[in-house]
A and B are shown apart, each in its own frame.
Chain A
């Protein structure tokens, strides 16, 4: 683990040092409108402060010594005055922000982690729900359809989704349903954690609205008759589409009404059409809850304080959506292959020969074995998500580590770039470790002795 981390930082440092005009005091001073003498003085100051005049390997070793908890200590004149085993590690100061890197990272890392920690379980739940179904209904319309859709989703660049979502759902030109940027509104920081209503009756009303919505939709989703189910959902979609077109700012043409109505009607009919009951229940139930809640807030919204939690969730919806779809698209295909392979395995046939019902064969025998490749992949999922959060954070202006990374490389901030690399390396390796442990828990064949 430590050699790998060393290797990572060496690679990144080598890139920076070997670049033409890589890290030097000149590049820091550049662009500032200064007298030549002042410029020289500033360069000297930076050289002294960050040791930029020493050869690259020395710079690296010095940085390494600062970072590692064990190492040499220096006096004011930068002379070695001793060797300490617990001098503590120091990531240095950022060139750009002039603040300790540690402080910056402490601010930014939790935000990125928050995004990832929400995304990973979502990715797994969706991937397993769809992948298992596709495998058990191999070759049928659900399987073929979901395969194509997932491959399509996997190919949609995150930037495109992000830009489209922010453009249509957060800008004033279309529906301003979600906030444009950041992770919370300024005023929400002062609010209580949970939402607050002025009267208890309002809470009851809210529950009533969403419960009625949910019950109606759940009832509809359990309807046996396909034409009725599809018809009702199609009509609902049409109404919603027209309402959406109506909500557009300014005059919306007939085309918008027709297009949105038809699109939503089609989408809803498709949801109603699938014979995957669980999926239908969940999706239609959530549509019901959402509709009920929205209706409630259309009629009464006085005396309601959003609270920090709701505000945060509201800000997180679009970024998390952007971050997850690629992951679950990929994982769904993997789940499908794994389950399919195990359904055809010898032990599954043994179980069937024992008289185990097909449902138990799937969930008791096959599923646990199919989890193993998914656990292995979870190790590589984390670096992917960290990379993805760079894009998502810069689109949604979230001050996380990804955005910090872009700023750091743009400013050629040596300490910051190295530290971010180090931290992301550590996070990735921790992810590997967790994946290994989970694997050992799930598979009795692996033992660490």
Chain B
């Protein structure tokens, strides 16, 4: 720390005292979050991610070939609801619970518990009650509507499902935005003729899911290994660091490619694979953080008070190390989303599910350049990654006492 800053700080204690009176009874975490999210960048990031999350959750309502409501022979039914999967229901219930919990003031762990219970409960109920038909024929609605079988029908805003391949439209199925007269495709169609916007809406689930779960897995491994290294040092540290070095010496993408090529390419495998190839960064980070914290006097004091190891690790060390780890996680989600997009782009991603990266790949796959396949999915990847990076940046600035002091 530099002297001048110190001097300035000493001189400003008075002002700080006033500030701290206002901030009285507010925990450090709340302060950091307040500070981070007063910046416009972080606000934009948060807004975009929230929007994306909402889109992901309500995807079946936003983009679906199944009409939301239809009246056929004066019987009102909802084909959309009939085709909703267990996953759709769980997501909805979790999302609603989160929104409600945001406005309730209870302890964090209680919130987590309620969330978990709600999720499992919905899953069980949905498992018992919901059984979407195996076979879907999207054309039936269009045929029936053309035949005038419906008295009235309410379509989703984007009336196409992501896998509603309309192959009978020309040769390639690739069509410019609003290029067809008979249908409205705001973002055009992809090579099999399905709607790009609809695929993008549904792909946001994959992007967000992979971002969160893969980073979660990576962080879990990283925190365990890094924490062990930092706390026990000695031989554990040496072996762990070698392991970290091994994983860092190969470009992550090579490792990912190998994993993906040799294992199955389902969504869950992808999450696990991206997770286990990106843990070394977190491990190194957590280790350094633990080494630093272990020297802190309040940790020494906790030991001197005879507190059990569990309390020292989880009450004294982890909460103080979590803020920088969260920053790393925010950047980590961005890079996990990028990793998935890259793999899909290289043709090693998910086989059948829509993904932004895979659509991007189609932009130059055929002999022509289809700009809408690059612009929209690519733009979505960019905005999401940018949003996470902005939030990470703002959080980092907020927790860095050095920067705070020097930034006037």
Contact = CB atoms under 8 A, between A and B. Distances in A.
Touch between A and B in complex, CB under 8 Å?
yes
B251 A428 contact: yes
B364 interface: yes
B113 interface: no
A252 to B, nearest CB: 14
A12 B4 contact: no
Interface string A394-407: 11000000000110
Nearest to B402: A341
A390 B254 contact: yes
B47 to A, nearest CB: 16
Interface string B234-265: 00000000110111111111110111111110
A92 interface: no
Nearest to A409: B261
Interface stretch (A73-81, A157-165, A225-233, A262-270): A157-165
B334 interface: yes
Point out which of B4, B259, B369, B371 has the most chain A C-beta atoms below 10 A from its C-beta. B369
Contacts of B379: 160
B210 to A, nearest CB: 14
A157 B347 CA distance: 16
A425 B255 CA distance: 11
Interface string A156-186: 1111100110111001011000000000000
B338 to A, nearest CB: 6
Contacts of B385: 155-157
A116 to B, nearest CB: 11
Given A7-B246, A139-B408, A390-B253, A410 B261 contact: yes
Contacts of A394: 346
Given A19-B262, A173-B369, A344-B2, A12 B250 contact: yes
B221 interface: no
A161 B361 CA distance: 12
B140 interface: no
Contact of A387 (B4, B252, B348, B393): B252
Interface string A327-366: 0000000000000110011100100000000000000000
A19 B2 contact: no
Given A383-B251, A406-B257, A163 B363 contact: yes
Contacts of A391: 253, 342, 345-346
A15 B258 contact: yes
Given A139-B407, A173-B368, A383-B248, A163 B346 contact: no
A112 B356 CA distance: 27
Given A8-B246, A151-B389, A349 B3 contact: yes
Contacts of A420: 254
A254 interface: no
B249 A155 contact: no
A16 B258 contact: yes
Contact of A386 (B247, B251, B390): B251
A428 B253 CA distance: 14
A15 B341 contact: no
Contact of B368 (A12, A139, A171, A346): A171
Contacts of B263: 15, 19-20
By secondary structure, the A interface counts as: helix
Given A7-B242, A421-B258, A166 B364 contact: yes
A154 interface: yes
A20 B360 CA distance: 30
**A-side interface size class:** 35 or more
Given A383-B251, A405-B254, A168 B389 contact: no
Contact of B246 (A11, A151, A159): A11
Interface string A110-141: 00000000000000000000000000001100
B148 to A, nearest CB: 40
Nearest to B243: A7
Contact of B3 (A11, A346, A395, A424): A346
A167 to B, nearest CB: 4
A301 to B, nearest CB: 27
A250 interface: no
Contacts of A139: 407-408
Nearest to A413: B261
B220 to A, nearest CB: 19
Given A157-B385, A159-B345, A428-B249, A167 B364 contact: yes
7 contacts: A148-B41, A154-B389, A157-B341, A157-B381, A349-B4, A409-B257, A428-B249
Interface of A: 3-5, 7-8, 11-12, 15-16, 19-20, 22, 138-139, 148, 151-152, 154-160, 163-164, 166-168, 171, 173-174, 340-341, 344-346, 349, 380, 383-384, 386-388, 390-391, 394-395, 405-406, 409-410, 412, 417, 420-421, 424-425, 428-429, 432
The 6 closest A-B pairs by CB, nearest first: A160-B378, A19-B262, A167-B369, A409-B261, A387-B253, A7-B246
Given A155-B386, A341-B402, A412-B261, 5 more contacts: A157-B360, A344-B406, A380-B248, A383-B248, A424-B254
